[in-house]
Structure 1
């Protein structure tokens, strides 16, 4: 395999790409929609300074704003998806820039709505709802705006911040653009002298899982060398993001930046710490056993950070085509009912998924769910069976928002990030249960257990440790200290070593894993992966034992969008996340999976 085999975007098979024509038939149609919306944005200014006058005016303003949002979403989504598919294309970079500028223009124009609603008295709001019952169509956005009342700045200040929206988002933009277009890695060789190309996607989707220790470790060394060349730039970018957050928290009067970042999640500080502390403390012994088991079975002289994702059963790594994976997922999700399966079929076969591997494509996987059309899923399909779990995960997001979009208005769709990963990991849980029940092959069952442990590793280890690292970062930042490369590396290393103990030989490169994810620019997002998986672990067990009633509860939660806070939503879905009990139960389940592996290799 040589570097020349990496395809450019236009060389990738069309059937492996998503169909963006469902958003706009072509770039010209996008430009026309852009220009039309740009002319319509000032329409909302007709209500500025007048929302206190009458309920009729408030309703008209909210309806106008809703139409603007519905027009803006496909415009920004189209640009974002094009760039995600090929970050090397200058025209797509420019289109993304235009889209972000338009979004900033809209945010600036509509900023007065929140500040003027916040200024209304409780008596006035109650009277408005009584006078114009149709205002109840906007219960959720009004509720969310009023939640911000204690931390709101003056109308003028809020408008200034809205005008600076594009600048405020610059750290994430710089990180993503650098990662997709500037960050390159040198090829590496195996022990025979064969050369392999290296990219972010190839490392994280293929080489990191290689059964060949030389390939795995040499790929890691080249990967770390590539990261190291940009560590100062990324540290400066991340430091800027954190300083922005700390300053904003002080300006808004929050007790801490953590309080500010948890506010939109509608989660208490206690629940946040409970999620991180319980898993960090209780899961560590199980993961150390898992690491030592790998070292023994694979015959490694030491277990390094490069080895942690090595296949424990290297002689059994099944390949699977996309079509076979799709059929397996549909069969596994049959328990959710025909309506849900129908959504999954659309997702798999109707141009929702971009699975091509090409130069410039964003690494990892995500699901974008624009209101008014269908979701879009990005991943890189490598014909390895483990990709089935990634695909099922993203389809869980797609099913969630497809249902929420159908049943809620645009302002009432997206719930708290605290529970956003529950629907996605639910699909993974159901897939694993289906495969375990279906197979009689000992090796296949072991592979499924290992795949399931991969899901828990991703959510309960990788992202949970990111969350633990973030927590330490904010402690340092609030003391006024600069987040230098040395500081970030030390904090990451301490979090990793505290969790793994002597089960893993950590090198300096392991500390650079803070460079690998955009999540740090998205508030307190990483720890929520573990919250979602905790919930789906509990409810997947209920579905297995209770059947349809548990399914109905879960689907009702998906349809509810953001009409409730996350703890109440999850209670509606069948699990109480206000206590640590579901967390401990999920960790115990992970321990039981490790137990099964130890028995199978004894």
Structure 2
């Protein structure tokens, strides 16, 4: 388990890194593109105060704006990926700062487009659509803008707010910069005298360690450092929350939650359905899972630090990246040649950065610059969990590649409510494939545990993040100051309500709000559960129907943001207007726990 996690970025083998030359071959090329973006802003501002002239004027403006944003996305992605790979590099930090400044200028100078469109009446919009066929691809965008008309501020105020975008994004930037560049963890020593290094990126490895002493000591060292930063991080997050609350009031929303859900095109009923149904109905299944884990591992107490301990302590096969790629390829064949061509490119053409080095951002993500191809960041440690993470991020890649191939830039992004469906679909297909292929009871159990890991991640970790957000925004709307003590208290209470007396909470449990950047991304965390709910239902239909269901799913991926989330999920064959799909997904988790209990009760704990 002891490893040296001190490799610097320039020591990483090139095959473990992504190929950024597909974005820009040289730094000089990037510099030129950044200057070109600054110059291209004028091609859009040329249309200022003119959008009411004709449909032809409007379509030209929208096309120029799309082109500008696509070019900016490329230069911003390049800078962001370099900084994500090594946040300690000062050149990377400076590059991000420059891009951020240009991005603020782009937002400020193009804010008039939305304002002027909202200033048009419905009859004019209809007339322009009939006169200019090219506007048809922007029809949903135009309608969405008109729906937000009641919350539009004056053009001058909108431009001013857009000019401050770099400042408004600073809570997220400060959080990320602190995690990657400033927060360092001490090594710790176990009773056998072995010293273990600790970083933000390798803590999940220890979190899933079979050795209880190793797992718990790593946890103590980790949360000890988190505790030292809690007041600073709380102030940073409180600034983010205050920003949303203030904007919601300015825009005449009833609350920050209403404003954030409006952006997702999600009703409060849909939002509360996800949070309430999963917490209420999943808790009994997960408590059974925790009790099973405590019994099998022979733990006197089930501590919060034990929740991710492996059940099969004597079966932890290491998987190479090449072996993982092969598994993913085989499992996704059901999606057909068009989808598989994208997966092959992703695996073969260095779309994936899997290195572990100092300064690398924790977690995993997929960036999808329009007109290029997606890039995936993860940290490879050879676990089966890594295999599922790879499949997950490739799901995002396939989704946005297809959307980018079939839609204009402004139509590629669906509501957050749908975003996690394609990624978790890949995980479901991977799980199903391995279970169908293997006769090894240990491998079957391992895959069931990985599937439970997927549901744990989305239905427990993220739903409880969402629960904390729900509480925090309600408190902030009432004027309650958001402090470290309040965040820890609310997080501990949410965890305790879910786990009951099966898990012993400690101070570190309350600090888990410090671990994820999702809190700075609007009401993002709960949407993971919505996506997994949809993919659970759609995967069942694909396994039953085959190609017709696959075709419907691919149509939904290609649709990008041209449909509202309920319509998009209906196109994929899932009706999320009621709690029924959520209840079915939760019940499925219950069957996985049932299978585990049977396995161990029949002698599998030996």
What is aligned with 1:230?
Answer: 229
Contact 2:5/2:357 (8 A) holds in 1: no
Runs of 4+ in 1 over 3 A off after TM superposition: 1-5
After superposition, the C-alpha distances for 1:177-211 in whole angstroms (9 at most, x for unaligned) are: 0011111111111221210000011102x100000
Partner of 1:454, secondary structure, is helix
The correspondence of residues 400-439 of structure 1 with structure 2, limited to 5 A, is 400-439=399-438
**Stretch of structure 1 that moved more, 550-559 or 186-195:** 186-195
Residue 68 in structure 1 maps to residue 68 in structure 2: yes
TM-superposed deviation, 1:54:
1.9
**1:549-576 CA distance string (max 9 Å, x none):** 1111101100000000011000000100
Q: Does residue 444 in structure 1 map to residue 443 in structure 2?
A: yes
In structure 2, the partner of 1:125 is 125
Compute the TM-score of the two structures, normalised by the length of structure 1.
0.99
Distance 1:338 1:182 in 2: 45
CA deviation string 1:327-376 (max 9, x = no partner): 01100011111221111111011010000000000011000011001000
| Correspondence 1:569 to 2:565 | no
Using a 3 Å threshold, how does the CA distance of structure 1 residues 14 and 282 change in structure 2: closer, same or farther? Answer: same
Name the structure 1 match of 2:460: 461
C-alpha distance in 2 between matches for 1:452 and 1:496 = 21
Secondary structure of the 1:264 match is: helix
Rounded to whole Å, the distance in 1 between the matches of 2:313 and 2:77 is 40
Aligned residue number for residue 579 of structure 2: 580
Tell me if the contact between 1:83 and 1:93 (Cα under 8 Å) persists in the aligned partners.
Answer: yes
- Counterpart of 2:604 in structure 1 is none
Structure 2 equivalent of residue 46 of structure 1 = 46
2:492 aligns to what? 493
Aligned-residue offset at 1:143: 2.4
Query: Residue 329 of structure 1 aligns with which residue?
Result: 328
Q: What does residue 523 of structure 1 align with?
A: 522
**Cα deviation code 1:296-335 (max 9, x no counterpart):** 0000010001100000111111111000100011000111
Query: Aligned-residue CA RMSD in angstroms?
Result: 1.0
The range that moved more, 48-57 or 188-197, is 48-57
Cross-structure match for 2:511: 512
Give the whole-Å Cα distance in 1 for the aligned partners of 2:390 and 2:56.
46
Match in the other structure for 1:302: 301
CA distance in 2: counterparts of 1:364 and 1:558, whole angstroms: 24
CA shift at 1:262, angstroms? 0.4
After superposition, the Cα gap between the structure-2 partners of 1:500 and 1:5, relative to the gap in structure 1 and judged at 3 Å, is closer
Query: How many angstroms apart in 2 are the aligned matches of 1:453 and 1:116?
Result: 49
- For 2:525 and 2:442, the matched residues in 1 are separated by 33
The 3-state SS of whatever aligns with 1:377 is strand
Return the alpha-carbon distance in structure 2 between the equivalents of residues 397 and 439 of structure 1. 27
Give 1:116's aligned residue: 116
Give the TM-score taking structure 2 as reference length: 0.98
2: distance between equivalents of 1:4 and 1:257?
Answer: 45
Contact preservation (8 Å) 1:279, 1:583: yes
Aligned to 1:592: 591
Segments of structure 2 that go 5 or more residues without pairing to the other structure are 602-606
| 1:31 CA drift (Å) | 0.4
CA, structure 1 residues 152+364, in 2 after alignment: closer, same or farther (shift >3 Å)? same
Local SS of the residue matching 2:201 = helix
- SS of residue in 1 equivalent to 2:264: coil
Check whether the contact 2:5–2:356 (CA below 8 A) recurs between aligned residues.
no
* Cα separation, partners in 2 of 1:544 and 1:480, compared to 1, 3 Å: same
> Which structure 1 segments of 5+ residues have no match?
none
Superposed displacement of residue 240, structure 1: 0.6
Q: What per-residue deviation string (whole Å, max 9, x for no partner) do you get for residues 432-481 of structure 1?
A: 00011111011110001000000000000000000011101111111111
Residues 384 and 450 of structure 2 are in contact (CA less than 8 Å); yes or no, is this contact kept in structure 1?
no
Q: Look up the match of 1:537.
A: 536
Matched residue, 1:6: 6
CA spacing shift, 1:481–1:600, aligned 2, 3 Å: same
User: 1:27-63 deviations in whole A, cap 9, x for unaligned?
Assistant: 1110011111111212222111111122222122112
Render the CA deviation track for 1:270-302: whole Å, top value 9, x for unaligned. Answer: 110001000000000000000010000000010
Moved more, 184-193 or 390-399: 184-193
Distance in 2 (CA, whole Å) between partners of 1:77 and 1:194 is: 41
- TM-superposed deviation, 1:141: 2.6
1:311 and 2:335 aligned: no
Q: Indicate the residue corresponding to 2:556 in structure 1.
A: 557
Q: CA deviation at 1:504?
A: 0.2
* Contact residue 420 and residue 532 of structure 2 kept, 8 A: yes
Asked if structure 2 preserves the Cα contact closer than 8 Å seen for 1:140 and 1:411, the reply is no
How many Å apart are 1:144 and its aligned residue? 2.6
Instruction: State how far apart, in whole Å, the 1-side matches of 2:62 and 2:538 are.
Output: 37
Deviation at 1:2, TM superposition (A): 7.3
